[in-house]
Amino acid sequence: MKKTLTLLLLITTISYSQILEPVKWTTEAKKISDTEYDLIINATIEKNYHLYSQNVPDDGPLPTIFIFEKSNNYELIGSTTEEKGHTIYDPVFKLKIKYFDTKTTFKQRIKLNNKNRFKIIGEIEFMTCNDSNCVPGYGDIEFEI
């Protein structure tokens, strides 16, 4: 029994130590005017992995999605923008798909509805792949203005 418990704990520890996180996210806010800011979301992508665009064809991989918590403190202006990236024919999905490698930046403009200090909270849903596997992911993002 003791050997079984030790083996189970060892397997659990090894499993947790091998959790893949091929994308690291950082955020910042850039003041555009007294009432407008750009929320800047940077993705640093591990070598040999790629992150998919927000706009991928149906039957393709999961797109990158930004969900901002609703608040009376601000409103979104337009949609989240992304860099040019690379568009290739993907033999796995048999589609032309846009992706990013190494690093990329997404931007969301907001308009402030008051001058009080507040936090903007959101979530990122995404998928990243290399030549042998894909890793779906999500994470909380937080800005303070």
Instruction: Name the domain count of the chain.
Output: 1
Q: Is residue 68 part of a domain?
A: yes
Alpha-carbon distance 66 to 20, whole Å? 21
Q: Is residue 60 part of a domain?
A: yes
Q: Is residue 9 part of a domain?
A: no
The pLDDT value recorded for residue 20 is: 74
- Enclosing domain of residue 56: 22-144
Q: Is residue 94 part of a domain?
A: yes
Q: Is residue 17 part of a domain?
A: no
Q: Is residue 79 part of a domain?
A: yes
The pLDDT value recorded for residue 4 is: 34
Global confidence as pTM = 0.82
Q: Is residue 105 part of a domain?
A: yes
Q: Which residues of the chain fall short of a pLDDT of 70? A: 1-19, 143-145
The pLDDT value recorded for residue 145 is: 57
